[in-house]
Amino acid sequence: MTGPAERVVENLNRGLHELFAVDERVYLLGEDIADPYGGAFKVSRGLSTRFPDRVLTTPISEGAIVGVAGGLALCGQRPVVEIMFGDFITLCFDQLYNFASKSVAMYGRRVEMSLVVRCPVGGNRGYGPTHSQHPQKHFIGIPHLNLFELSPFHDSSVLLNRMLDLGEPAILFEDKILYGQRMHVGGRIDELVGFDFLDPRRDHARAFLFDQDECDCLVIAPGGLAERVLAAMRELFLAEELVCQLVVPAQLYPFDIEPLLPLLTRAGRVCVVEEGVAGGTWGAEVAASVHERLWGQLRAPVLRLNSVGAVIPAAPELERATLVQKSTVYNAIRDACRA
Amino acid sequence: MSRALTEPAPGTSQLAERDLERLLLIRHFETALLRLFAEGKLNGTTHTCLGQEYIPVALNALLRVDDFVLSNHRGHGHYLARFADPEGLLAEIMGREGAVCSGVGGSQHIYREGYLSTGVQGQNVPVGVGVALRLRQLGSGQLAAVFIGDGTWGEGAVYEALNLAQLWQVPLLLIVENNHIAQSTPLDAHMAGDIAGRARAFGVRYHRVAGIDINRIRVELAEVVAGVRRTPAPAVVEFDTVRIGAHSKGDDTRDAETVAAARARDWYTHYERAFPARFALADAAARRFVAELVVRVERRPPVGRRP
C-alpha cells in the first residue's frame, strides 16, 4: 500500500474522468459544474477544463436538463446529469417517469436510453428539510428505471460504466456523507473487519468480522449507511459479543436477492437499514422479498430501521435525533437479538 | 387538363398534387378514426388535427429526411405528412398486426427513425433541445422540429428549454400550432401576453403564419428554416390556426358560433372553392383509399403478444 485509499469523492471524480477519456459519447450536464467551481460537492472538478465540449454547465432548470439528456440519449449519446441536491430530482420526475424510462419500451421495440442522473442525498450535514432527504422510494418500481447507490466498496468507474451499459436510464444516489470518507480496498477494513463480494458482478459487498463463522444478525443497507452500520457492528461485537454481517448492494432496484439467500438462511436475524423515512420504501421492498423467499426459515420478521417520520431539522442536535445513526442500529439490533 | 382543373380561385395558389393528396389523406384518415370510435371499433382515445392538416404538410417540404421531428398528442398529421405509412399508423391505433409501434404506443406514442411523439405536454421541448444539441455538434445542418400547441405554453418545461436553446444556439424549430383552445380552455383564459412576446423574451427569432396557403407558407418560412440550420439558432414559428373538431372525440364545448367561425377558416373549404373539379377528384380518391385501408386493417388479427 502506498498511503491511504482514495476518498469517495476522488474515486467518483476519477471515475468520471476515465469515462470521458475513453468514450466520446459521454456528456455531463448540471448546475455550477464548470471549473473552477467544479460542482457544489466538487465531484465534477477538472472535467470542464479537459472536456469543454461535453461538460455543459446549465441554468437552474433541473427538468429541462434531464429532458436534454433524454434527447442526447435518443441520439445514441451517454449523458450524465448532476442534480446539485438530490431533493431537487422531484423537478425531473416527468422526464424520468414519463419519458426516459418509458421510451425504452413504449414504442414497441427497445429504444436504448443510456442516461445517468447523479444525486447527492442524505443528511447529517445541517442543510435542513429540503437539502437532506433520501428520495429513493419515490423512484422504486418504475419499469426500466434503475436505482444505484454510491458506496465505499464499489469503484465508481466500474459502477458508472455498468450503469451506462444498461441502455436504460439509471439514478445514482450519492450519500453526501460518503464524499469525504475513504474507499475500502483490498478486502480489509481494519483489524476486526474484512469484506468480499457475494456475486461475480460484485454487486453485493459483504463486510464481516474476521474469524467469526456464525451470524447473529445480517444487516442489509445502502452505501450511505455503511460506516454507521460498521461502527455499530464493531461495538455490538466488543460490548455484546453479537456477530453481525453487513451487505451493501450497489444496485437498489431492481434488487437481486439471489446472492444473499445462503447468508439470509444462516442468519439469526435480518435487518434492513435506510436513512429515508418509512412508508413504501426500498427497505420495505427488500423485507418483503426476504419474507417471500424465506418464509418458514426465518427466526423472526425482518427488522426495518428508518429515520424518524418527520421533516429533517437543520439544527445539529435535532437533525441527529431524527436520522438513523450508529446508535439507532446498535440499540435496535441489541434489543432484537436479546429479546 | 382542363382549364377548370388548373385555375385557382383568386388569393389561393395552385397546390401540387402530392400536397393535396396528403392533406386529404390526413383529413379522411382522422374522420375515419372518429367514425370507428362512434361505431365502438376503437379503444382508448384520439386527438384529431382537423383544420390543422396544412401545417405539417406545408412544413414537410422544408424539412430534410434526416431532420428529427418531435410531435405530441395531436400527432397523426405530423406523422402522415412525413411518412407514407397510413397503414402502420392505423394498425397502431387499432391494435392490429403491422402496427408501427407494435400496439404499445397507440395514438400518442409513436417512434421511428427521426420521429417521436409523446403524450405529456411540454415534455418534448427539452428533449428536442437535447437532440438539437447533438445535431449542432454534428455540424450537418440538420434540425430538430418540435410541435407544440398554445396550451403547451402553460408548462414551465417550455421556458426552461427555450432558454437553453437560445443560450446554446441549437438548431431547434419550435412550431406552435395556436388553435386558440387548450382542450376546453380558450386562449384568453389560459395565456397572459402572447407567443411573440415569449419568444422575444429569450431573444429567439419569431415568425407568425396567419394564412393557410401552403405554397405561400413555404415561401414565408424558407428563410426562417434555413436560418435555424445555417446559424444555427432556434426559431419559434407560430401558426394562427383552427381546430374544427373536438379536443378528443366528442368533447367540444365551444358554442356554435365559435365552431362556425373555425370552420369558415378550414383549408378544405378554401381549396374546394379554389379548384372544385380537381379537388373533388382528389377528395373522392382519398375517401376511397381510406375506406379501403380501414377494411384492410380491420381484417388483420390483433397485435401479438410482445416477446
Phi, psi of A31 (to 5 degrees): -85, 130
d(CA B78, CA B108): 11
State how far the alpha carbon of A276 is from the alpha carbons of A91, B135, B300, in Å: 19, 41, 51
Q: In chain A, which ranges are E strands? A: 26-30, 55-57, 78-82, 115-121, 146-149, 169-175, 193-197, 204-209, 217-220, 244-249, 251-253, 269-277, 303-307
Whether the per-residue pLDDT at B8 is higher than 50: the answer is: no
Residue A56 near chain B (CB below 8 Å): yes
pLDDT score recorded for residue B1? 38
- The pLDDT of B238-256, averaged and rounded, is 90
Please spell the DSSP secondary structure of B129-181, one letter per residue: HHHHHHHHHHTS---EEEEEESGGGGSHHHHHHHHHHHHHT--EEEEEEE-SE
Per-chain mean pLDDT for chain B: 93
pLDDT value of residue B305: 64
A268 touches chain B (CB under 8 A): no
3-state secondary structure A33-67: CCCCCCCCCCCCCCHHHHCCCCEEECCCCHHHHHH
How many CB atoms neighbour CB A70 within 10 A?
A: 30
Checking ipTM against 0.90, whether it exceeds it is: yes
Name every chain B residue with its beta carbon within 8 A of the beta carbon of A99. Answer: 118, 120, 123, 127
Nearest chain B residue to A77 by CA distance is: B134
Residues 6+ apart with CB under 8 A from B199: B162, B205, B206, B236
How far apart are the C-alpha atoms of A72 and A75, rounded to whole Å?
Answer: 5
Amino acid at B295: V
Q: According to the model, what pLDDT value does residue B21 have?
A: 97
Q: What is the DSSP letter of A184?
A: P
Residue B251 has a pLDDT of 82
Structural contact between residues B26 and B90, judged by C-beta atoms closer than 8 angstroms: no
Confidence (pLDDT) at B11: 63
Q: Tell me if chain B has a CB within 8 Å of the CB of A24.
A: no
Determine, for residues B163 and A59 on separate chains, whether the beta-carbon distance falls below 8 Å: yes
Task: Give A2 or B196, the one with higher predicted confidence.
Answer: B196
Q: Does A90 touch chain B (CB under 8 A)?
A: no
- CA quadruple A26, A27, A30, A32: dihedral sign: positive
With CB atoms and an 8 Å threshold, state whether B127 touches A68: yes
Low-confidence ranges of chain A (pLDDT < 50): none
Contact between B138 and A80 under an 8 Å Cβ cutoff? The reply is no
Contact A119, A174 (CB under 8 A): yes
B93 pLDDT above the threshold of 60 = yes
Q: Are A59 and B164 in contact (CB under 8 A)?
A: yes
> Are residues B157 and A72, on separate chains, in Cβ contact within 8 Å?
no
Is residue A99 within 8 angstroms of chain B, CB to CB?
A: yes
Confidence of residue B4 (pLDDT cuts 50, 70, 90): very low
- What's the one-letter identity of residue A305? L
A63·B157 Cβ contact <8 A? yes
* Predicted pLDDT at A179: 97
Residues in chain A: 339
A57-86 residues touching B, CB cutoff 8 A:
58-59, 61, 63-75, 77, 79
How open is the CA angle B203-B206-B208, to the nearest 5 degrees? 155
* Chain A interface test: which of B92, B120, B134 (most A C-beta within 10 Å): B134
Radius of gyration of chain A (CA): 20
Q: Cell digits for A143?
A: 419499469
CA distance B214 to chain A (A): 30
Find the closest chain B residue to A100 by CA distance.
B127
Q: Counting Cβ atoms within 10 Å, is residue A187 exposed (0-12), middle (13-18) or buried (19+)?
A: exposed
Interface test mutation site (partner A, options B101, B133, B148, B163, max chain A beta carbons within 10 A):
B133
pLDDT in tens, B34-68: 999 999 999 888 899 999 999 999 999 999 999 99
pLDDT higher than 50, residue B307? no
Output phi, psi for B292, to 5 deg: -70, -40
Q: Return the H-helix or E-strand segment holding B239.
A: strand B235-240
**What is the model's pLDDT at position B252?**
87
Nine cell digits for residue A149: 447507490
Residue labelled with grid coordinates 418540435: B146
pLDDT of residue B45: 86
Report percent pLDDT > 90 for chain B.
89
Mean pLDDT of B4-21: 72
Query: Tens digits of per-residue pLDDT, B111-144?
Result: 999 999 999 999 999 999 999 999 999 999 999 9
Judge: A73–B130 Cβ closer than 8 Å, yes or no: yes
